[in-house]
Structures are given as C-alpha cells and as structure tokens.
C-alpha cells in the first residue's frame, strides 16, 4: 500500500517542493538572470556570445549566472519579458515604449546597439515615386516599426494614413504575399526587404536611412532588477562590447564571427555583411554613449510617442502622447511622474572608460 501511494504522491511532492524552492530563490539575493533575444541583424551577437561562452565569461567575472535564450517570435519575446519571465530582452525603441513601458514595467535601455540605416523600407511594385502610394493598399505588420516608418514616409510627401489602406500581414507570409497581384505596396525589414527588392519591377521608395537614428535596437532590462543588481548590467555590457570588438575586426576571427552570425540568421557572410551595411552598429561604447547623450534622442522618442498615442498604443489611460515619461540624458520627454522607459548610458560609459 505505502509503495503504491508514495508512487502517486512523490511526483506531487516534487512539484510542490520545486514550486516553493523557486519562490524562495527569487526572494533571496539574485544570482541567476536570464535575457532573451530574437533573430535580427543587430542582435545576432547575443546568440554568438552565448555559444562562444563570452556571456558566461563575463557573468563568471561578476560571480553571477546569465542565461541567454533565443525566442523565435519577436513579439512573443517582448511579451515574455513584459510578463516578467526574463530580466532583459532585445527590442526596438518603439516596442520598448508601447509594450513593457505602457504596461508599467519600468524598463531601462541598457545597451543602445545600433539604429536602422536602410534596414527597413517601403517598396512599391512598378512605381518609382513614393507619392504613387496614394490610394493603394499597403501590406505591413501593423503597429510595428514598419508602420512607424510608413507614417514618417507619408509625412515626408504631405500624405496621411487616411490616404492609403493598411493591411495587416504576418511577416512570415509577406514575401509569398508580395508575389500575388493583390499586393502592390509593402513596408518591411531585412532580410525580407532584400528578398523582395530582388524581385523584378520592385522599387524601394523610402527607407530608414532617410530618418537616421529613429529606429533604434536596444537591449532592454528591468529597471528594478538593474538597480538592485548592477553586476547584471556590468556583465551584459562587458560581454556585448567584447562581441562588438570581435565582430567588427577585419581579421580572420572577425570574419569567422560574422560568418557564424550570418549562418545563424539563415544567410552567409556576404548576406550578413550586406545587412550590416544598412545598419549603423555602435561597435565602440563611446559612439553609443554619444548617441544616447544627444538631444536628437529625445526628439525621436517624441515622434515615436506621438505615433504610438495616435494608434492607441499607450493604453486607455493615456490622455495624450506625453502620458508615459521617457528619460534621456538630455531630459525627460513626457510625464516626469510616470517615467517607465529610461535611456541610461552609465554602463556603456563604464565600458567606454575601460572600467568593467
């Protein structure tokens, strides 16, 4: 009898204990952290760094442990971070504002990795002028940076969103969709963008190089976790700039690193280098610090906040675009009593000064 019962009870007991131990572990001082990332040209170093144990080396240096997890769905990775499952996640400045920050998860842009400098673009079939987009259906991932880019593009030629019709299209199906005759205009990012532009009769009529520094790729971490555990921030930033140094080198090792990253993102060295060419990477921490410190960042976040508010992305509580405060070194944009997104160059500065 006892044998039978213990066989039934033991698994339950085990589940019970493991649930409790995980709760008590989170209450104690943190030793273990996890960050997630998804495939994008500017975030491939995270996968490379995890694979080559560069992240582990830096975590060991500060006596902590950092898990680097790749998530196949970009939005899902941000949602998981916002729900509290990860301490950090790679995302763009716009998604950082509209998902975690709008959900009251106070977040800090620990690393400003790069900005899109042509990696996102508006493509028309058979037409060469952006103005021709008027009256067309535009296929894109609605409410994403593509949508933001489109809004900025329309702005630049005096059109508005009401002049076109946006069709929400899954990024996984965008290339296949472009082959159909229903689709005449798309907005998308690389590597999809280069694949679409390789088709006949396609023209790039606007790209992110025309709004440099507005679509920024970040490593965002939970502000509270960072404040309580500066080691976590130091280890991540240390590992990042070691990877930057490695991949930017014009040496055998640098090419090997870029080849590995290219392969991991489904292309090769040439394909990856082409994507890097339309990405302004901040290989040196000093460049990233200078970018973060510039007054331009605050203006960019204002554009992003206004776009987000106009599309209802700041939540129902938001009365206007300034509802959520965004802290930048050159000042706070929006409500200083509700700061939820912070651009903090402190840790990158430490890297620039060689103090990590």
**Angle 59-65-69 (CA atoms, 0-180°, nearest 5)?**
100
Asked if residue 331 binds other proteins (CB under 8 A), the reply is no
The total of other beta-carbon atoms located within 10 Å of residue 296's CB is 14
Asked if residue 312 binds other proteins (CB under 8 A), the reply is yes
Query: In the block, which residue shows the tokens 């976590």?
Result: 232
**Site for other proteins (CB under 8 A): which residue of 167, 256, 274, 339?**
167
The smaller minimum CB distance to other proteins, of residues 84 and 331, is found at 84
CA-closest candidate to residue 146, choices 189, 84, 93? 189
Asked if residue 199 binds other proteins (CB under 8 A), the reply is no
**Site for other proteins (CB under 8 A): which residue of 31, 170, 251, 336?**
170
As a whole number of angstroms, the distance between CA 66 and CA 221 comes to: 13
As a whole number of angstroms, the distance between CA 53 and CA 58 comes to: 9
The smaller minimum CB distance to other proteins, of residues 283 and 309, is found at 309
* Pair 42, 77: CB distance under 8 Å: no
The total of other beta-carbon atoms located within 10 Å of residue 156's CB is 12
Asked if residue 168 binds other proteins (CB under 8 A), the reply is yes
Asked if residue 176 binds other proteins (CB under 8 A), the reply is yes
CA-closest candidate to residue 52, choices 213, 260, 267, 332? 260
As a whole number of angstroms, the distance between CA 25 and CA 28 comes to: 5
**Residue 187 beta carbon to other proteins: minimum distance, rounded to whole angstroms:** 14
Asked if residue 99 binds other proteins (CB under 8 A), the reply is yes
**Residue 309 beta carbon to other proteins: minimum distance, rounded to whole angstroms:** 11
Asked if residue 104 binds other proteins (CB under 8 A), the reply is yes
**Site for other proteins (CB under 8 A): which residue of 83, 199, 277, 319?**
83
The smaller minimum CB distance to other proteins, of residues 39 and 105, is found at 105
**Site for other proteins (CB under 8 A): which residue of 44, 112, 124, 183?**
183
What spatial distance separates the first Cα and last Cα of the chain, rounded to whole Å?
60
Asked if residue 166 binds other proteins (CB under 8 A), the reply is yes
* Pair 324, 314: CB distance under 8 Å: yes
* Pair 240, 288: CB distance under 8 Å: no
Asked if residue 165 binds other proteins (CB under 8 A), the reply is yes
* Pair 55, 239: CB distance under 8 Å: yes
Which of left, alpha, beta for 346 (phi over 0: left; psi -120 to 50: alpha)? alpha
**Residue 60 beta carbon to other proteins: minimum distance, rounded to whole angstroms:** 31
Asked if residue 275 binds other proteins (CB under 8 A), the reply is no
The C-alpha R_g of the chain, in whole angstroms, comes to: 22
The smaller minimum CB distance to other proteins, of residues 103 and 331, is found at 103
Tokens of 335: 């409500």
**Binding-residue total with other proteins (CB under 8 A):** 33
Own/partner pairs for 159-162, CB < 8 Å, 24+ apart? 159/131, 159/133, 159/134
**Residue 92 beta carbon to other proteins: minimum distance, rounded to whole angstroms:** 12
**Site for other proteins (CB under 8 A): which residue of 144, 146, 208, 229?**
144
Interface of this chain with other proteins, residues 248 to 267, rule: CB under 8 A: none
Asked if residue 292 binds other proteins (CB under 8 A), the reply is no
**Site for other proteins (CB under 8 A): which residue of 4, 128, 181, 337?**
181
Q: Which stretch binds other proteins (CB under 8 A): 6-14, 166-174, 254-262, 271-279?
A: 166-174
**Site for other proteins (CB under 8 A): which residue of 59, 96, 112, 143?**
143
Residues that bind other proteins (CB under 8 A): 75, 78-79, 82-83, 98-99, 102-105, 139, 142-144, 165-170, 173, 176-177, 179-183, 312-313, 315-316
């Amino acid at each position: 009898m006892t044998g039978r019962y213990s066989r039934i009870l033991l698994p339950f007991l085990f589940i019970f204990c493991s649930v409790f131990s995980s709760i008590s572990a989170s209450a104690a001082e943190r030793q273990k952290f996890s960050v997630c990332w998804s495939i994008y040209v500017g975030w491939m170093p995270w996968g490379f760094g995890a694979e080559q144990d560069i992240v582990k080396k830096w975590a060991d240096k500060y006596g902590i442990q950092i898990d680097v997890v790749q998530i196949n769905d970009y939005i899902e990775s941000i949602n998981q971070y916002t729900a509290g499952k990860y301490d950090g996640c790679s995302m763009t400045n716009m998604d950082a504002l509209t998902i975690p920050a709008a959900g009251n998860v106070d977040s800090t842009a620990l690393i400003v990795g790069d900005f899109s400098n042509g990696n996102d673009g508006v493509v028309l079939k058979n037409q060469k002028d952006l103005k021709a987009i008027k009256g067309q259906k535009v296929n894109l991932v609605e409410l994403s940076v593509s949508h933001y880019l489109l809004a900025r593009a329309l702005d630049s030629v005096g059109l508005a969103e009401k002049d076109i019709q946006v069709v929400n299209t899954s990024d996984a199906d965008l290339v296949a969709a472009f082959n159909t005759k229903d689709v005449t205009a798309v907005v998308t990012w690389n590597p999809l963008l280069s694949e679409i532009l390789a088709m006949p009769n396609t023209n790039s009529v606007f790209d992110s190089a025309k709004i440099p520094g507005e679509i920024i790729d970040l490593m965002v971490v939970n502000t509270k976790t960072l404040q309580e555990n500066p080691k976590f921030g130091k280890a991540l930033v240390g590992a990042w700039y070691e990877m930057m140094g490695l991949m930017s080198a014009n040496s055998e090792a640098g090419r090997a690193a870029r080849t590995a990253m290219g392969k991991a993102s489904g292309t090769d060295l040439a394909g990856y280098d082409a994507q890097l060419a339309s990405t302004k990477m901040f290989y040196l921490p000093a460049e990233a610090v200078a970018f973060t410190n510039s007054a331009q960042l605050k203006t960019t976040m204002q554009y992003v906040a206004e776009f987000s508010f106009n599309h209802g992305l700041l939540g129902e509580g938001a009365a206007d675009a300034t509802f959520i405060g965004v802290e930048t070194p050159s000042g706070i944009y929006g409500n200083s009593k509700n700061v939820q997104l912070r651009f903090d160059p402190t840790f990158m500065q430490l890297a620039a000064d060689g103090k990590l």
